[in-house]
Amino acid sequence: MQNLPKIGLPIIFTIAVLVILISKAAVTIGPGEGGVLFERFGDGINTEKTYGEGFHIVAPWNSMLVFKVRQQSISDEMNVLSVNGLEVRVNGTIWYEPEYENLGKLIKTKGQDYVIELLNPAVNAAARSVVGRYTPEQLYSSKRDVIEQEILDEVVTLMKGQYLNVKRVLVEDVKLPETIKNAIEGKLKQEQQSLEYEFRLVTADKEAQKQRIEAQGKADANRILSASLNDKILQDKGIEATVKLAESPNSKVIVIGSGDSGMPIILGNQ
């Protein structure tokens, strides 16, 4: 009985050590994450395998580095120069994601702060290159979607072979000096008013042209009708009307002589 405590202590110690080792060796990788193994007594980052979501056991002397591998975004504000040397402040957002299969290579070559070390410089370089091709007016108004695509194309080119995929670029705001902004807005307002005035002139001209065509049509119709009406036609029409009147049950017809045109003179009715 007295030997039991002496035997029990080593067992308890061994169990405690095992629990500590297991707790340090157990790693859980969450949804949308990937892991790369750092082998302390090997070559450092293992570039051959990316560990997926779930529970993993690693040797206690190694470390599992966990990173987000789903699509992510960063927003930044950059001071760049337009084509005429004017300083412009551009707010933008970049969507990106690491290449899952090459996560180890990305971390080994670019480090854990690859966004700061790799992505940010590439985005800034692309933004300066693209914005430098345009005037402040183009940046402020009509060229936003074109600029976004050109920045994206340049960033994708810079990221080629860097184990990082850039999905989309969004230019959220372009801030110009207040005097330049007011001048551009004033010019755009004048252009809008000019277009509106021109539209009214065109509409009025079309309406006047329509009225002239309608008037001309009526004049032509009257001229044709007048030319077709001779004495014989008028006489026949008068006879037709007299016959219809004589056949009416509500009328009493008395014919006395004839008029100057040879038409009967009708008198009397009820």
Range of the domain at 201: 187-228
Q: Are residues 153 and 84 in the same domain?
A: yes
**Share of residues in the chain with pLDDT > 70 (%):** 65
Residues 114 and 170 both lie in one domain: yes
- Shared domain for 58 and 85, answered yes or no, is no
Q: Which residue has the higher pLDDT, 162 or 236?
A: 162
**Of 91-100, 222-231, 251-260, minimum mean pLDDT range:** 251-260
- Does residue 54 belong to any structural domain of this protein? yes
Looking at the structure, tell me whether residues 144 and 216 fall in a common domain: no
The rounded distance, in Å, linking the Cα atoms of 140 and 174 is: 6
Instruction: Note whether residue 182 is domain-resident.
Output: no
State the average pLDDT for the chain. 78
User: Quick one: 83 and 169 in the same domain?
Assistant: yes
Residue 154 lies in a domain: yes
Q: Is residue 199 part of a domain?
A: yes
- Would you place residue 201 in the very low, low, confident or very high pLDDT band (cuts 50, 70, 90)? confident
The whole-model pTM stands at: 0.58
Which carries the bigger pLDDT value, residue 228 or residue 257? 228
Pair 93, 147 in one domain = yes
pLDDT of residue 34 exceeding 60, the answer is yes
Are residues 77 and 24 located together in one domain of the fold?
no
- Are 244 and 210 within one domain? no
On whether residue 202 sits in a domain, the answer given is: yes
Q: How many domains does the chain have?
A: 4
Distance of CA 216 to the CA centre of its chain: 50
The closest alpha carbon to 66, from 113, 109, 29, 105, belongs to 29
Here the contacts of 189-192 (C-beta below 8 Å, separation 24 or greater) are none
Residue 132: inside a domain, yes or no?
Answer: yes
Domain membership flag for residue 191: yes
Residues 112 and 44 reside in one and the same domain? no
Residues 146, 204 share a domain: no
pLDDT band of 121, cuts 50, 70, 90: very high
Residue that terminates a domain, selected from 68, 84, 105: 68
Domain at 126, CATH number: 3.30.479.30
> Within this chain, do residues 128 and 168 fall inside the same structural domain, yes or no?
yes
Burial 240-259, CB ≥16 within 10 A → b, else e: eebeeeeeeeeeeeeeeeee
164-185 residue pLDDT tens = 999 999 988 888 766 665 665 5
- Establish if 181 belongs to a structural domain: no
In this prediction, residues 223-249 reach a mean pLDDT of 64
Per-residue pLDDT at 246: 64
pLDDT band of 224, cuts 50, 70, 90: confident
